[in-house]
Every structure is written in structure tokens, then in C-alpha cells.
Amino acid sequence: MDITVTPDVFKLAQVFTISRGSRTQAEVLTVRVTRDGVTGWGECVPYARYGETLENVTDMIQGVSGSVTRDALYDLPAGAARNALDCALWDLEAKSKGQRVWDLAGLPEPQPEITAYTLSLDTPDAMQAQAAKNAFRPILKIKLGTPDDMPRLEAVRAGAPNATIIVDANEGWSAAVYADLAPHLVRLGVALVEQPLPAKDDDALIGLNRPVPVCADESCHDRDSLAKLKGKYDVINIKLDKTGGLTEALRLRKAALEQGYKVMVGCMVGSSLAMAPATLVAQGVMFTDLDGPLLLAEDRETPLLFDAQGVHSPAASLWG
């Protein structure tokens, strides 16, 4: 088995800003695993919030040797490196056996799922303009997490009066801020709030009235995270770059649903190759947020199809 990893850069359609900073391009790693002349591939997005860089994730991937299996990858921590390798192994098996990944996983063929579309953090006027431009989309996710969020939220609602709104605070609030904003979130029809508090401070959510459901993002990575979420969150956000691949994402989804959580399936800003495995996890969940390719100015040669029905499962020529 031969494993190669290469960095790739995809330009964004416009500057993308969250409370932690801005970017103009998506920097990803593409992993290819070759065995008996067949190559499977996967993509990951190293994330600085979790101490990941292109360099240290590359080193971790290159440190894997031998005829590795998906179960053996659990020797690696949940994160970007394991994700790319795990997804590449799924793709390799599908190509080697001439089957689709969902058949190998014992799942029905994925159907299109409506995805949220993310509006990046900006001035209220600019966010209202973004919202108006995308008001035809059923679900808008807005990046907040600053002391001046209410004018932005009001502006987005004015720009897209009929859209379902998800708010992502990116750990930028406190319990007191959430409690103060909650009535306004209800008034403006916000359906979900992602990670309002820093993960290290989220014990403050215990016992807090949550009129708008709260979703764990930075606080939830894999199944080991679930024990610490009880009483704090109503929903978990599953991202393959956090779980360490499709294998754990499917296991996490099953465990979370069994424990009474609702599920959101999200993504980092990456190409269609990164989103493709997540379409299997997103089937029937509360919210799908796989809009990464919609934020790009350029994509993989065979991109995912997005239309009025939502994001479709990948063509075999892309992945799986």
C-alpha cells in the first residue's frame, strides 16, 4: 500500500470571515492510497482551532505505514489526518470491489438533502445585502460571535424574511449573552444556535433555559465527547474533520441519536471531495450544512451537484 499526501488550494468566491478571522482561500490536503493498482482518495482541512497545521497533519499521515485498515486508524487521534485516510480507504474499497460506498456500509443510496448556506461575518448592511442575494435559499447560516450581533441578525432577517436561520457564534458568547439574546432569537425565528460558549466554559449551559436549541460544535468531536455534553446541548454537529473520518462519523451519529440528541452535519471550508462522504451521514438529520463547495470559486473536476433538491450524493468519478 502506497500513501501520498499533497497540499491543494482552492480560491474562495469572496472573503470568508468568522469571529476568529478571515480567509480568501481554502487550504486542504489530498491523500491518495494505492493498493494493487487501484487508488482511493480523500481530503481533509487542518484546523488551527484544534492545533492542526498543514505541516503537522502531513507528518501524521506520512507516519502511517504498512497495509493500514480503517480500524487500525483509530491509533491516530480524531482529526484531519485520520479523516483523509479513512475516506481514502473507503473510496479504495469501493473502487476495488466495484460497489458504491453506501452499499459497503449497509446504507441506502443517499438522497438529496437541503443544505444551509453560510453568510460570513460583516457589517449589518453587508450582511443584509448577502441575505437578500441568497433569500431564495431555504436555510441561511450566519456567522456571529461579537458584542454587536443583534444589528447583524436583524439585518439578515430583513434581507431574507422567509429563510430558516441558524446562528453560529463560534464560541464568541457567554451564558449571560445567550440568555440576553435568547428572546430576540425566538422573535426573529432563529432555529438553532451553534456553539455559543467556548468549549472550555460550556458547563455554564447546564440548567440554562434554552428556548432556541443549542448545538455542540467545538465541544463535540467523536463518541468520546458525548459523555460531557449531557444537560448542555440539544444537538451535535458532526464534521468528518473532527470525527476522524466517515467510519467514526457514522458511529457517532448512531450513538448520538440513541442518546436523544438531534444531529447536524457540517463541514470545514473545503472542496466537493471533502463533502462527498458527509452526504452519507447527512441523511435525514435535523440540519445539513455542506455548503463548502458553494463558497469556492473553483472546485474538483467532478463536483457535487447542488440544485433545488439540495446536495446530491457524489458521482463515482468523484468519490465512493
Catalytic residues: 143, 239
Nearby residues of 98 by Cβ (< 8 Å), 6 or more positions away? none
User: What does the block give as the cell for 132?
Assistant: 437578500
Nearby residues of 6 by Cβ (< 8 Å), 6 or more positions away? 29, 30, 32
H or E element at residue 14: strand 2-18
**Which residue is listed with cell 446536495?**
311
Q: How far apart are CA 24 and CA 13, in angstroms?
A: 8
Closest by CA position to 68, among listed 38, 35, 100, 39: 35
Q: What is the CA radius of gyration of the chain?
A: 19
Q: How far apart are CA 303 and CA 145, in angstroms?
A: 32
User: What does the block give as the cell for 162?
Assistant: 422567509
Q: At 165, is the secondary structure helix, strand, or coil?
A: strand
Q: How far apart are CA 74 and CA 82, in angstroms?
A: 8
